[in-house]
C-alpha cells in the first residue's frame, strides 16, 4: 500500500523534514518517492479540489504555494498491516494541532490549524487520486525485501 504525504511550507522552513521522515521510518514505513518542489496554484488547487468553495480554501492555497514543500510517497508493503493510511494518519495526528496527541507529528510540531506541518492522504481513494498529481509510476521505487 502506498500513500501520499506533503511536508508543508511551515515545516520545511522550520527544518523539520528529516525529523518528520524519521518518524515514518521508525515504523518500518519506507519512502518510495521524494521531491522538493514549489507548488503553483494549479497543482495546489488540484490537490485540494475537494475543499473548493469552503471558507478556508484560498488561504490553504496561499499557504501551500508560499514556500517549497517536500512531497513523498510512503510504502508500507513490508508490514503485515494492510492499513497503511490509518497507520500514517495515526503518526501524523489530528488535523488541528491543538487536538493532536503529543508524540504525533502535528502534536509535537504543529502551531495552528493553518500551520499543521503535513498533509497525508485520508483514504485509499484519496491516495490513488493524489499520488499521480505529483509522481509518475516510474518515479516510484519498489522494495524487494
**What residues are annotated to the active site?**
119
What are the distances in angstroms from CA 101 to CA 24, 34, 71, 107, 122?
16, 27, 24, 5, 18
Q: Are 96 and 75 in contact (CB under 8 A)?
A: no
The per-type count for the chain, helices as H runs and strands as E runs, is: 7, 4
3-class DSSP state of 122: coil
Amino acid at each position: 500500500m502506498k500513500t501520499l504525504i506533503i511536508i508543508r511550507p511551515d515545516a520545511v522552513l522550520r527544518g523539520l523534514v528529516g525529523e518528520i521522515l524519521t518518524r515514518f521510518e521508525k515504523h518500518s514505513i519506507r519512502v518510495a518517492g521524494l521531491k522538493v518542489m514549489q507548488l503553483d496554484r494549479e497543482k495546489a488547487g488540484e490537490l485540494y479540489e475537494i475543499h473548493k468553495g469552503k471558507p478556508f480554501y484560498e488561504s490553504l492555497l496561499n499557504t501551500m504555494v508560499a514556500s517549497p514543500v517536500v512531497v513523498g510517497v510512503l510504502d508500507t508493503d513490508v508490514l503485515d498491516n494492510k492499513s497503511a493510511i490509518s497507520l500514517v494518519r495515526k503518526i501524523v495526528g489530528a488535523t488541528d494541532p491543538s487536538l493532536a496527541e503529543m508524540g504525533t507529528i502535528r502534536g509535537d510540531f504543529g502551531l495552528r490549524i493553518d500551520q499543521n506541518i503535513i498533509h497525508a492522504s485520508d483514504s485509499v481513494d484519496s491516495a490513488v487520486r493524489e499520488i499521480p498529481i505529483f509522481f509518475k509510476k516510474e518515479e516510484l521505487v519498489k522494495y524487494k525485501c
